């Protein structure tokens, strides 16, 4: 798809289709008003006859509108003007893209980007537009023998802005949006790939490919390397599987040579059967998504590289299957982690924290500016926050705030939960330094408490994406979240600290 930005009058666009919005009930948006004037009330006549109310998500395609240069005019319902917010803006764009893709035209000129969205500027609207296009047109059909080819797919989209002095920031925002969209797409593809294809080795290959095409450094540690480092809790998860585990390190160096890196750690369980604490059968297929944290790290690094952000970033991905083979770790086993602390494994299905804790110890060597881990860690997080918000826990309030803000800015929202010491009690073990589970109450928090014990040496935050990384049911599929949140977090840091000395305050 080709994208461009334009400022100009809707009736004068030589395009296959011009897209304008209609508020409910039957109220023309500013761009629709202009078209209506040029067309001698053609649109208001249609609305008066009752062909369109302007309900959110509805649309009406018109041909040969008099006084209009474009072949078609697409009216898109926006809902009530008073209630027009982010969600409605995204829904209108999605409806428009879907319609455009089904009509015969190669290109569309979209005026929805001129609409006012409360508290959002042009840059936000354009970035979101790029993301919505990617989301709406995304298909995962590479494993089907018959692809769902669109007869004449849309090839070119133009987003319009109301004033010429907005063109510059809109262009920048478009580039950012497309970079983030590309990162999300990679994250979705990896998430949607089944466990027999997307193995730890496949993730390692993907990391190598990103490194090669974008000039990043890459190290892939295999089982022997991990044994040498004493990553025993990670290896204890890998024992039940025939698939070799991989520990992936990707280094993006866009910042000054000495600047401390931001470290992203992504959970890369390519299939989580639960191990000996086997999961129940229904929906177990969805545990192929247990590497979405890893996928979001790869996607974010791709977006960052495309945007050429002036930061140093390290992506770290501990990756293995969690299977119940004959050599698998058993409930009650005690394992010594890389940090030297011992863990009693009371439930082999709480494996995410076991691979992450060794990764959190490993990343100490980077003297990180801060560390953010991303993991489909707990079913409890799905119960607490559903599929709307990502769970956020942190040992530093400034970092937590930064991530919450990035979530708001990108409309990829997170919600903070407390990481109070009181919860640490639940991890007491009679036989080791700690247990790997804390019982049913506050499952998301005790999982984070476990991780926090391995992240004491730096500023750290944890994103539990169990509810947000994929959708279940009829529309089953990876969402690409939280790539937008992470990308915004890093864009904000790049903006605030392009400082080459790397001497900014921590947090
Ligand atoms: N990958 C799962 C978490 C999960 C479950 C994500 C369902 C999305 C949907 C994780 O490894 C897991 O199994 N967690 C256990 C922890 C428990 C044993 C303490 C859980 O949440 O049930
Ligand atoms: Mn599990
Ligand atoms: Zn898991």
Q: Which residue in this structure is represented by tokens 């035209």?
A: 105
Domain 179-496 sits in CATH at: 3.40.630.10
Contact in structure between 244 and 223 (CB atoms under 8 Å)? yes
Q: What lines the ligand 1 site, CB under 6 Å?
A: 272, 290, 347, 349-352, 376-380, 382, 437, 443, 466
Ligand 1 atom 17: residue of nearest CA: 350
Are domains 2-162 and 179-496 of this chain identical in fold? no
> Would you call 279 a catalytic residue per the annotation?
yes
Q: Which ligand is nearest to the CA of 269?
A: 3
Q: Which ligand is nearest to the CA of 273?
A: 2
Q: How much is the pLDDT for 501?
A: 47
Residue of 349, 374, 471, 473 to mutate, ligand 1, most atoms within 8 A of C-beta? 349
Q: Mean of the pLDDT values across residues 214-238?
A: 98
For residue 497, pLDDT beyond 80: no
Q: How much is the pLDDT for 149?
A: 72
For residue 506, pLDDT beyond 50: no
Q: Which residue in this structure is represented by tokens 């119940």?
A: 324
Residue 25: asked if its preceding bond is cis (omega within 30°), the reply is yes
In three state form, how does the secondary structure of 242-309 look?
A: CCCCEEEEEEEECCCCCCCCEEEEECEEEEECCCCCCCCCCCHHHHHHHHHHHHHHHHHHHHHHHHCC
Domain locations along the chain = 2-162, 179-496
> Among 461, 90, 124, 472, which Cα is nearest to 293's?
461
Q: How much is the pLDDT for 498?
A: 55
Domain 2-162 sits in CATH at: 3.40.220.10
Q: Which of 188, 267, 302, 353 is catalytic?
A: 353
> Would you call 152 a catalytic residue per the annotation?
no
Give per-residue pLDDT as tens, 10-49.
Answer: 999 999 999 999 999 999 999 999 999 999 999 999 999 9
Residue 482 CA: distances (Å) to CA of 253, 257, 294, 383, 428: 22, 28, 11, 18, 32
- pTM above the 0.85 mark? yes
Residue of 378, 383, 472 to mutate, ligand 1, most atoms within 8 A of C-beta? 378
Q: How far apart are the C-alpha atoms of 134 and 198, rounded to whole Å? A: 22
């Amino acid at each position: 798809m080709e994208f461009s930005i334009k400022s100009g009058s809707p009736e004068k666009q030589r395009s296959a289709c011009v897209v304008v919005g209609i508020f409910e009930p039957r109220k023309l948006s500013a761009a629709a008003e202009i078209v209506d004037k040029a067309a001698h009330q053609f649109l208001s006549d249609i609305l008066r006859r009752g062909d369109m109310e302007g309900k959110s998500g509805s649309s009406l395609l018109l041909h040969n509108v008099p006084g209009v240069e474009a072949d078609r005019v697409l009216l898109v319902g926006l809902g009530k003007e008073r209630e027009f917010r982010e969600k409605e803006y995204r829904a209108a764009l999605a409806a428009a893209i879907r319609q455009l893709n089904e009509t015969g035209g190669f290109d569309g000129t979209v005026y929805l980007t001129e609409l006012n969205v409360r508290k959002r500027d042009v840059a936000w609207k354009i970035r979101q537009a790029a993301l919505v296009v990617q989301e709406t047109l995304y298909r995962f059909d590479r494993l089907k023998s018959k692809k769902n080819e669109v007869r004449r797919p849309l090839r070119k989209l133009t987003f319009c802005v109301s004033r010429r002095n907005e063109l510059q920031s809109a262009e920048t925002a478009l580039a950012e949006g497309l970079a983030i969209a590309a990162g999300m797409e990679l994250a979705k593809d990896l998430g949607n790939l089944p466990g027999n294809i997307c193995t730890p080795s496949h993730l390692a290959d993907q990391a190598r490919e990103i490194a090669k095409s974008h000039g990043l450094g890459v190290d892939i540690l295999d089982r022997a390397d991990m044994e040498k480092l004493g990553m025993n809790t990670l290896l204890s998860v890998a024992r039940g599987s025939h698939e070799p585990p991989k520990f992936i390190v990707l280094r993006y160096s866009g910042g000054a040579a000495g600047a401390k890196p931001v470290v992203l750690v992504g959970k890369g369980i390519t299939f989580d059967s639960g191990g000996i604490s086997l999961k129940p059968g229904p929906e177990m297929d969805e545990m192929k998504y247990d590497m979405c944290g890893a996928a979001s790290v790869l996607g974010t690094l791709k977006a960052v590289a495309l945007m050429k952000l002036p930061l140093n970033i390290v992506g770290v991905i501990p990756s293995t299957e969690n299977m119940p083979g004959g050599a698998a770790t058993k409930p009650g086993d005690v394992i010594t982690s890389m940090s030297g602390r011992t863990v009693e494994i009371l439930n082999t299905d709480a494996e995410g924290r076991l691979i992450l804790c060794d990764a959190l110890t490993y990343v100490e060597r980077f003297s990180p500016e801060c560390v953010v881990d991303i993991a489909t860690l707990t079913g409890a997080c799905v119960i607490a926050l559903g599929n709307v918000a990502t769970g956020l826990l942190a040992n530093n309030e400034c970092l937590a705030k930064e991530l919450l803000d990035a979530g708001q800015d990108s409309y990829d929202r997170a919600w903070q939960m407390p990481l109070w010491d009181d919860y640490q009690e639940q991890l007491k073990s009679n036989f080791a330094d700690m247990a790997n589970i804390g019982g049913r109450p506050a499952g998301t928090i005790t999982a984070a408490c476990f991780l926090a014990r391995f992240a004491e040496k730096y500023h750290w935050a944890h994103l539990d994406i169990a509810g947000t990384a994929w959708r279940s049911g009829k529309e089953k599929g990876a969402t690409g979240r939280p790539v937008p949140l992470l990308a915004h977090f890093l864009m904000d840091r790049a903006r605030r600290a392009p400082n080459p000395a790397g001497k900014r305050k921590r947090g």
